[in-house]
């Protein structure tokens, strides 16, 4: 059975609707090799984005044969197009089933014992000869929390190196640093439920309709039911999301900082700000010197007003191309609505000023008091199912320790050393290598051994070609844990380890609204594939023994299962702002997600933080507190920061030689580097190949028509794609989807990154176009 793209979309909508009312609609024939109705259903979570849609997997004869949405979860049974076809990813023909070792230009099958022996020998020799900072781990927002916590403990607490980072550095680091620098702690304070209460939505740098379809469905439903609901969409492309907007603000890519400052200018000039909220809850800061270390100064309200004087709507229009009247309208709607909710994603984060852009969205909410009440909140959308839980919360980044602790903070290091039971001074005080620094170190030879798990940097890194050379070098040792082979990373590896995928193992995901959910194991993995946690425990004990610290290894890493790791994680979170002591494994098996903080087993979870009405930690900090208390900002007497952030453009603006801006993103059918979704026949047939999207006016200038072949060239490389001439991008902008391994879009993108978050600027680079 072959479905057209139109038929596929119709089927997706029908399945979502059926799931939402409790009906089981069978998958179309041909999606799975196994046939027949499930004999039981297993509760879990979708494998794709950070929305965290609850699902049930239907199992028959040891195989997953169906999937349906969890109608008791926040998604109310709805799934997106990708989620509807999840089972097929388990049965792709290129599933990796055995360990493989490179011999010359070929891979040969070896046993697990041999694989572990080779890996341990390489890491041991490197540590002995070159020290612990010669080895590194590159992880993922797709790994379970238990896996991320374990490997973090092994490298930072066991081996004594902070060279451990992950792919959320490429997608969510600016959001994390934005939250921390404004509020003192990471993660949104609101929830999806705020969609039901908001009457104004400000969406910037996010194509929700394709990247987070189920959340977008909620927003669209809210608009249909609320006659006064307004949607503002700020995006250089008129995306599917922008089609439902009441106001679409198109602007020159990389100039939205001027627009955000101009909106603040209008709010203050027209006295639409909430003076009482500002006076009670905020302070003002500016960066005097970027450092390192950065020099920060506190300033006054008058200083902020003076700073904004240059950002009139008319001045912002000259910088951005966005009409001044639209900036004024957006500012008024934002400030005067009963409740305004902001959404953003990679369009803000993947920038050299990504942290500043995040701060400036927070500024608007703090200026207007549109925060910490139903419908009024800032909300960063997350790209991966556990980028929040396992990485940002759990500390799987080179500068972090678990649950809000910092590597550079002496008290935090001492606390974690005591908790983990390792000698004082084991955790290094200097943060380790961030993602781009890590792969630069591979190129230079400073990093001798690198373990990559559950991610695909050989395709996903910016300016990827130069880093592929380092990964392929014969004088380094690259281990890749992967469910499929070959990928654009595993093809470069020295050792490839077969990984269990999704419901072939169990573990915990933490998603965008601070919601933690347990994924139950439903089936066994194929061949000799193993859960990453099992491999990590095996490796840790073998390596510690070879280093002459076998007894310490058994004490630190002698876990029997993921629940033992989870229970240690709960203890690690106790007493922090993330406290989820109440999330026992038994409870999570029954619940349909719990939001932290959740400090006791009878606590329902926290829908909204920092307000005495919802957040139990407010009263713990101040028993007399009523209303809003930003306890995360203790260092500033519970006052959060409104930042003075000037407009600065991208690292590589267009010029006479490269007159167009390239931006990248997702399609509704596919996800990230396509290693899973391109295995689903229906999804691949619907969106089989990459393309370059050009508007008709620019296409005419370069003599290109729809479906012509176009050569797109940046300062780093070229790629030839079919043109899709459509009036979606604004003049001077071209767009490419990022998913296709045979179309290495990231050969073109710049590896310039934000100085604060170290997140690369995937969204903007200069290119030229030529008809082939």
d(CA 672, CA 662): 18
Is the distance from CB of 199 to CB of 226 less than 8 angstroms?
yes
CA angle (372, 141, 118) in 5-degree steps:
155
DSSP letter, residue 312? -
Number of helices and strands in the chain (H, E): 26, 29
> Among 167, 169, 229, 151, which residue's Cα sits nearest to residue 197?
229
Q: Where are the alpha helices (DSSP H) in 290-351?
A: 301-308, 313-320, 324-336, 346-349
Quickly list DSSP for 173-195: HHHHHHHHHHHSS-S-SS-GGGG
Distance, CA of 52 to chain centre: 12
Is the distance from CB of 460 to CB of 672 less than 8 angstroms?
yes
Main-chain phi, psi angles of 691, to 5 degrees: -155, 170
Residue tagged active-site, from 171, 360, 436, 581: 171
Is the distance from CB of 360 to CB of 263 less than 8 angstroms?
no
> Among 19, 584, 382, 611, which residue's Cα sits nearest to residue 594?
584
Cβ neighbours around 678 below 10 Å, total:
22
Pull the structure tokens for residue 161: 């190196």
Quickly list DSSP for 746-769: GGTS---B-TTT--B-TT-EEEEE
d(CA 66, CA 50): 22
Is the distance from CB of 18 to CB of 11 less than 8 angstroms?
no
346 is known as an active-site residue: yes
Pull the structure tokens for residue 645: 């952030």
Quickly list DSSP for 639-699: -EEEEE------SS---SSS-EEEEEE--SS--TTSTTGGGSHHHHHHS-S-EEEE-HHHH
For residue 353, CA distances in Å to 237, 663, 682, 723 come to: 20, 16, 38, 30
> Among 504, 508, 502, which residue's Cα sits nearest to residue 591?
508
Residue tagged active-site, from 208, 263, 346, 436: 346
d(CA 478, CA 448): 9
Residue tagged active-site, from 119, 172, 372, 738: 172
189 is known as an active-site residue: no
341 is known as an active-site residue: no
Residue tagged active-site, from 142, 350, 370, 384: 384
For residue 448, CA distances in Å to 133, 353, 489, 535 come to: 9, 32, 17, 21
Q: How many CA atoms lie within 13 A of 471 on its CB side?
A: 26
Region for 598 from its dihedrals, namely left if φ exceeds 0, alpha if ψ lies in -120 to 50, beta otherwise: beta
d(CA 426, CA 439): 24
Count, residues in the chain? 772
384 is known as an active-site residue: yes
Residue tagged active-site, from 77, 166, 383, 507: 383
Quickly list DSSP for 580-631: -TT--HHHHHHSS-EESP--STT----SSSSBTTT-HHHHHH-TT--SB--G
Residue tagged active-site, from 43, 68, 76, 82: 82
d(CA 211, CA 185): 26
**Whole-angstrom Cα Rg for the chain:** 25
Residue owning tokens 């949405």: 69
Residues that are catalytic: 82, 171-172, 346, 383-384
């Amino acid at each position: 059975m072959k479905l057209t793209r139109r038929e596929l979309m119709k089927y997706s909508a029908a399945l979502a609707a059926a799931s939402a009312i409790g009906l089981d609609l069978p998958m179309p024939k041909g999606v799975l090799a196994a046939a027949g109705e499930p004999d039981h259903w297993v509760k879990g979570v979708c494998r794709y984005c950070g929305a965290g849609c609850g699902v049930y997997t239907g199992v028959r004869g040891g195989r997953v044969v169906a999937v349906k949405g969890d109608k008791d979860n926040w998604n109310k049974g709805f799934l997106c197009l990708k989620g509807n076809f999840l089972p097929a990813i388990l049965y792709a023909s290129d599933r990796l089933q055995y360990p493989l070792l490179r011999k010359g230009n070929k891979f040969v099958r070896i046993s697990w014992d041999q694989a572990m022996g080779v890996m341990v020998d390489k890491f041991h020799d490197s540590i002995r000869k070159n020290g612990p900072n010669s080895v590194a781990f590159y992880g993922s927002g797709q790994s379970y929390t238990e896996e991320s916590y374990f490997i973090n403990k092994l490298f930072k607490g066991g081996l004594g190196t902070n060279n451990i980072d992950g792919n959320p550095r490429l997608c969510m680091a600016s959001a994390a640093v934005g939250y921390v620098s404004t509020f003192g702690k990471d993660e949104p304070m609101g929830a999806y439920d705020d969609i039901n209460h908001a009457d104004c939505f400000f969406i910037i740098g996010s194509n929700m309709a394709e990247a987070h379809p189920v959340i977008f469905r909620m927003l669209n439903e809210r608009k249909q039911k609320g006659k006064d609901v307004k949607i503002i969409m700020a995006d250089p492309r008129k995306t599917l999301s922008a089609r439902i907007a009441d106001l679409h603000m198109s602007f020159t890519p990389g100039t939205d900082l001027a627009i955000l400052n101009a909106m603040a200018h209008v709010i203050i000039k027209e006295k639409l700000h909430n003076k009482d909220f500002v006076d009670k809850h905020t302070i003002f800061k500016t960066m005097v010197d970027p450092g390192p270390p950065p020099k920060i100064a506190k300033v006054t309200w008058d200083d902020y007003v003076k700073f904004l004087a240059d950002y009139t709507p008319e001045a912002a229009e000259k910088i951005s191309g966005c009409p001044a009247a639209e900036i004024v309208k957006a500012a008024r709607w934002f400030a005067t609505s009963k409740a305004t909710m902001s959404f953003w994603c990679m369009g803000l984060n993947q920038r050299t000023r990504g942290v500043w852009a995040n701060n400036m969205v927070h500024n608007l909410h703090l200026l207007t008091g549109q925060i910490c009440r139903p419908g009024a909140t800032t909300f960063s959308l997350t790209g991966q199912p556990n980028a929040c839980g396992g990485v940002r919360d759990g500390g799987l980044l080179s500068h972090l320790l678990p649950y809000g602790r910092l590597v550079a903070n002496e008290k935090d290091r001492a606390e974690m050393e005591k908790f983990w039971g390792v000698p004082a001074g084991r955790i290094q005080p200097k943060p380790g290598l961030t993602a781009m620094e890590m792969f630069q170190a591979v190129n230079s030879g400073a990093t001798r051994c690198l373990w990559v798990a559950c991610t695909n940097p050989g395709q996903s890194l910016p300016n990827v070609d130069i880093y592929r050379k380092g990964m392929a070098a014969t004088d380094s040792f690259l281990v890749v844990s992967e469910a499929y082979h070959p990928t654009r990373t595993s093809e470069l590896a020295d050792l490839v380890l077969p990984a269990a995928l999704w419901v072939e193992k169990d573990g915990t995901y933490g998603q965008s609204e601070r919601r933690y959910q347990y994924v139950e194991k439903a089936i066994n993995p194929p061949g000799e594939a193993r859960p990453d946690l099992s491999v990590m425990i095996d490796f840790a004990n073998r390596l510690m023994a070879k280093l002459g610290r076998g007894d310490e290894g058994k004490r630190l890493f002698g876990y029997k299962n993921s629940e033992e790791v989870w229970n240690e994680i709960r203890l690690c979170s106790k007493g922090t702002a993330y406290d989820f002591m109440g999330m026992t494994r038994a409870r999570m098996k029954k619940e349909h997600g719990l939001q932290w903080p959740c400090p006791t087993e009878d606590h329902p979870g926290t829908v909204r933080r920092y307000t005495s009405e919802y957040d139990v930690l407010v009263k713990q900090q101040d028993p007399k507190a009523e209303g809003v208390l930003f306890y995360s900002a203790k260092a500033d007497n519970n006052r959060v920061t409104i930042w003075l952030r000037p407009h600065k453009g991208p690292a590589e603006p267009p010029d006479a030689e490269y007159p167009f801006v390239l931006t990248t993103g997702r399609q509704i059918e596919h996800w990230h580097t396509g290693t899973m979704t391109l295995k689903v026949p229906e999804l691949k047939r619907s969106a089989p190949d990459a393309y370059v999207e050009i508007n008709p006016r620019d296409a005419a200038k370069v003599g290109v028509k729809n479906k012509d072949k176009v050569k797109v060239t940046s300062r780093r490389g070229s790629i030839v794609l079919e043109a899709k001439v459509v009036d979606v991008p604004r003049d001077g902008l071209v767009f490419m989807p990022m998913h296709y391994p045979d179309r290495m879009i990231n050969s073109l993108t710049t590896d310039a990154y934000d100085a604060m978050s170290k997140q690369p600027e995937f969204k903007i680079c200069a290119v030229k176009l030529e008809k082939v």
